Amino acid sequence: MALLEEQAEHKEGMFRAITDQSTEGITLADTAGNYTFVNPAFCSMMGYSEPELLQMSVFDMKAPEQDHTSFDRTKSSREGLSVEVLLQRKDGSVFVSEVIGQNVIINGSAQVLGTVRDISDYVKTEGKIRTLSQAVEQSPVSIMILSVAGVIKYVNRAFERITGYKLAEVEHENIDVLIPDGLLEDFQGGLARSMEKGEIWEGEMLIRKKAGESFWEYAHFSPVRDEYNKIIHYLGVKEDISLRKEHEEKILHQAHFDVLTNLPNRFLSLDRLSHMLSEAVRNNESAALLFIDLDDFKKVNDSLGHEMGDKLLIEAAARLKSEVREGDTVGRLGGDEFIVLLGGLQNPTNAQLTAENLLGRFRDAFRVDGRELMMTATVGIAVYPGDGDSASELLRSADAAMYHAKELGRNTYSFFTEDMNKQVTRRLSLEEQIHGALDRGEFEVIYQPQVDVGSSQIIGVEALLRWHNPALGNVPPDEFIPVAEQTGLIVSIGQFVLAEALRNAAYWQEHFSREFRMAVNFSPRQFRDPNLVAFIKRTVDEYGLSGKTLELEITEGVLMSGQRYIYDIFEALKGLGVCISMDDFGTGYSSLSYLRNYSFDLLKIDRSFISDITVDPADRELIKAAVAMAHSLHLKVVAEGVETEAQLEYLKELRCDYAQGYLFGKPMAVDDLTQLLMLNKSM
Ligand code: C2E
Ligand code: MG
Ligand code: MG
């Protein structure tokens, strides 16, 4: 065989191998479109055999619907024509193909070389992608695609609408541009780190809008991988949660701030106090706690109404706040109690200066609802180190200092001192010991006679409580009654006193006089006991007494709240025939309106007036007026603390009805009183 022939045969073999094994259809057609060559891939693509196809033309392959489809995908180039056409197989099925036709010269004649590819799968995928990208584009949730390095590749319309940034403005920018200043570090520790590690990240993030303000989003970022499982992008889906955040913040705010004044509430104030202390310890500095209590605020509230009281508190809070430095806390502990925290003090005397300034802020009248009101405050100061190492100790010290300042006459301030320290310690042990004292039988009721000024006959007694405690000794009632009040123990202790007193009253009535009367002291807290009246009635009945044997001694403190239930209790007690006396008259506000509005039977003039009755003409005039006024309201008058005959003479002159005091007998134990009554009887 000639060399040329051999070469031609070799080429033919190569051509065959290529066309036979190609996955693309390869065809040759003459200028009329009749196939002159088809490869096996084309045959299997169309479902015809080679001889069949060689009898057919390119036009036989076109699907009928092709004529209605525009050739918009036709691309013409120098190499030829690339078209997407619908072809129909022998079995009738239709598919999308990409056909590239090229004019070639083969063996001197013009032919068209066609390369045919089945692109149905590709077209399907492309359709899907188009639908998907439309969904992404139009999704109401904000969507973004980032590069692995965090560069923004795409944002959808929701993102544009929410943030105010157009895609073109953020494309190619790092996502960092969306993070508000100061939060970048957090962000880099969170999302950015997850991205580095190829992990999913989800959480809340603060995003800065183009206009500058920030808002909260809940974001989910997940990696997008290619077919080799390599991360190529990050897809972020984000939801605006500003409203929820706002709501959450509101709730959080309410838990920490006082609704009325918007100052830190008790909880947050004490938390800040603890913080201030740890700072002071760490930096070896001083810090001060100012405890502020408005003077007579309760009275304002009671007389002018709570609405007015609220307005005053708001104004007072504003004044306090205006007086301290930016970083210092002013908090409301509750009611009319505020605290001011002064951290990082160079010198404790700075606290004094602040206290003076705070009091100064109250010098101007408060204008509320067109009224002008004067209101003052009292301040207690506790300093770290010295007055306490913990928040609660410091608070207790400041509170004690405040009480001391109140005693000094209000509208002033006082530092905590060693003396107060002793008082605080004493108070704590009282609180500790008074629990269980009743069960341990440490209380005793003793009795002080009350006499008729005209006849000097004993007409009854006042029951007075004594506490004998092994650790504290004999504690005077002026000291332990307030503690019993505050702990609420006064209710059960008071029931003990009443039962004891009435039991003995029954005995003395039986042995001495049916008219014998028993006066028992009641404190404000006992009036809040819903069972008070029922208990009194039961006890009176139990000892076979009549209601008028009992005389309830109350102070103005009971009436101060002015609440309806006090009237109701008064009425119920009147119904039982019980007498009610106003104790310690002349010491408090001695409001005459109380005497008019409540049906009292007796007025007890405080012993501080009686003691000076023989020396101070003013006191004498005062008592004279009080007696006259009481009588005009049909009240009997009892003089307390009568110690001398001279005092008794004056009281007779002033037409006082009854008297009580050391002159007739000190408070004494049951048996001693029985003895005294026997003597009195035989007189
Ligand atoms: P109060 O009700 O004004 O009782 C009169 C106080 O004056 C008694 O003090 C009594 O011992 C004292 N006293 C009486 N006569 C004289 C006198 O001639 N000269 C002097 N210097 N003092 C005299 P006490 O027993 O220490 O009681 C103090 C207060 O404690 C009472 O004042 C009363 O408010 C309260 N208290 C006593 N027992 C009870 C009780 O059972 N329940 C309640 N809630 N309070 C009580
Ligand atoms: Mg009394
Ligand atoms: Mg009294």
Q: Report the CATH number at residue 482.
A: 3.20.20.450
CB of 480 sitting under 6 A from ligand 1: no
Mutate to test the pocket of ligand 1, among 434, 461, 464, 481 (most ligand atoms within 8 A of CB): 464
Is residue 606 in contact with ligand 1, taking CB distance under 6 Å?
no
pLDDT in tens, 344-378: 887 777 888 899 999 999 888 888 888 888 889 99
DSSP states along 84-130: EEEEE-TTS-EEEEEEEEEEEEETTEEEEEEEEEE-HHHHHHHHHHH
> Ligand 1: does its nearest atom lie under 6 Å from the Cβ of 497?
yes
Query: CA nearest 446: which of 469, 488, 489, 477?
Result: 477
Asked whether residue 386 falls in the same domain as residue 475, the answer is no
Instruction: Identify the CATH number of the domain in which residue 399 sits.
Output: 3.30.70.270
Within-domain flag for 426: no
* Weakest-pLDDT range from 15-19, 197-201, 345-349: 345-349
Tokens representing 644 are: 């001398």
Separation of CA 462 and ligand 3 centre (Å): 10
> Residue 682: pLDDT above 50?
yes
Does residue 529 share a domain with residue 673?
Answer: yes
Q: Which atom belonging to ligand 1 lies closest to the Cα atom of 476?
A: 26
pLDDT band per the 50, 70, 90 thresholds, residue 499 = very high
Cβ–ligand 1 distance for 519 under 6 Å, the answer no
Q: Is 252 a domain residue?
A: no
Q: Looking at residues 333-342, what average pLDDT do you find? A: 92
> What b/e string do you get for 374-387 counting C-beta neighbours within 10 Å, with b at 16 or more?
ebebbbbbbbbeeb
101 within a domain of the structure (yes/no): yes
Region 240-267: mean pLDDT is 88
Given a contact cutoff of 8 angstroms between Cβ atoms, the answer to whether 639 and 627 are in contact is: no
Average pLDDT over residues 102-118: 89
Per-residue pLDDT of 213-239, as tens digits, reads 888 888 899 998 887 888 888 899 988
Question: What is the CATH classification number for the domain harbouring 230?
Answer: 3.30.450.20
518/399 same-domain check:
no
pLDDT reported for residue 73:
46
Average pLDDT for residues 426-449, to the nearest whole number? 94
The pLDDT, as a whole number, for residue 75 is 54
* Residue 595 sits in the same domain as residue 624: yes
Q: In the listed set 61, 93, 123, which residue is the last one of a domain according to the structure?
A: 123
What is the band of 554 on the pLDDT scale with cuts at 50, 70, 90?
Answer: very high
Does residue 667 line the site of ligand 1, with CB under 6 A? Answer: yes
Mean pLDDT in residue range 627-656: 94
Asked if residue 284 and residue 263 are part of one domain, the reply reads: yes
In this predicted structure, what is the pLDDT of residue 672?
96
Structure token pair of residue 455: 């006849």
- Mean pLDDT within 106-130: 87
CA 555 – ligand 1 centroid, Å? 12
Q: Determine contact, residues 420/400, Cβ cutoff 8 Å.
A: yes
Task: Please say if the pLDDT value at position 201 is more than 80.
Answer: yes
Give Cβ neighbours of residue 270 (< 8 Å, ≥ 6 apart).
391, 395
Both 543 and 503 in a single domain? yes
**Which residue range(s) make up the domain with 529?**
443-682
**Residue-averaged pLDDT of the chain:** 89
Q: In this prediction, what percent of the chain has a pLDDT beyond 70?
A: 97
Question: Residues 500, 584: one domain?
Answer: yes
How many CA atoms lie within 13 Å of 110's alpha carbon, on the beta-carbon side? 6
Q: What ligand 1 atom has the least distance to the C-alpha of 448?
A: 14
Q: Is there a single domain that holds both residue 223 and residue 262?
A: no
Higher pLDDT, 659 or 608: 659
Question: Which residues, in sequence order, are bridge partners of residue 668?
Answer: 447
Q: Which of 123, 152, 172 is the last residue of a domain?
A: 123
> Mutual orientation of helices 532-542 and 490-511 as an angle, nearest 10°?
30
| Residue among 521, 536, 554, 582 to mutate when testing ligand 1 (max atoms within 8 A of CB) | 521
Residue 581 near ligand 1, beta carbon < 6 Å: no
DSSP state of 417: -
The CB of 189 under 6 Å from ligand 1? The reply is: no
Q: Is the pLDDT of residue 29 over 60?
A: yes
Give the pLDDT score at 71.
41
Domain membership of residue 308 (yes or no) is: yes
pLDDT > 60? residue 117: yes
Residues 114 and 29 in one domain: yes
Residue 273 CB-density burial (10 A; 0-12 exposed, 13-18 middle, 19+ buried) = buried
Beta carbon of 583 within 6 Å of any ligand 1 atom:
yes
**Residue 6 falls within a domain, yes or no?**
no
The response to whether residue 643 sits with its C-beta less than 6 Å from ligand 1 reads yes
Question: Distance from the CA of 463 to the center of ligand 1, in angstroms?
Answer: 9
Q: Is 644 exposed, middle or buried (0-12, 13-18, 19+ CB in 10 A)?
A: middle
Q: What mean pLDDT comes out for the span 454-460?
A: 93
Residue 131 forms part of a structural domain: no
Spatial CA neighbour of 558 closest among 591, 522, 592, 510: 522
Q: What is the dihedral of CA 535, 539, 545, 548, to 10 degrees?
A: -30
Q: What confidence score (pLDDT) does residue 207 get?
A: 87
Residues 235 and 274 in one domain: no
pLDDT at 72: 41
Same domain, 80 and 182: no
Is 333 in contact with 339 (CB distance < 8 Å)?
yes
Split into its structural domains, the chain has a count of 4
Lowest-confidence region among 139-148, 474-483, 529-538, 561-570: 561-570
User: Quick one: pLDDT band at residue 253, thresholds 50, 70, 90?
Assistant: confident
142 pLDDT higher than 70: yes
- End position of a domain, from candidates 90, 123, 156: 123
- 68, pLDDT greater than 60: no
Verify that 236 and 264 share a domain, yes or no.
no
Tokens 């695609």, residue located? 145
User: Does position 587 have pLDDT exceeding 50, yes or no?
Assistant: yes
Please say if the pLDDT value at position 591 is more than 80: no
Does 427 map to a domain? no
Look at residue 2 and tell me if it is in a domain.
no
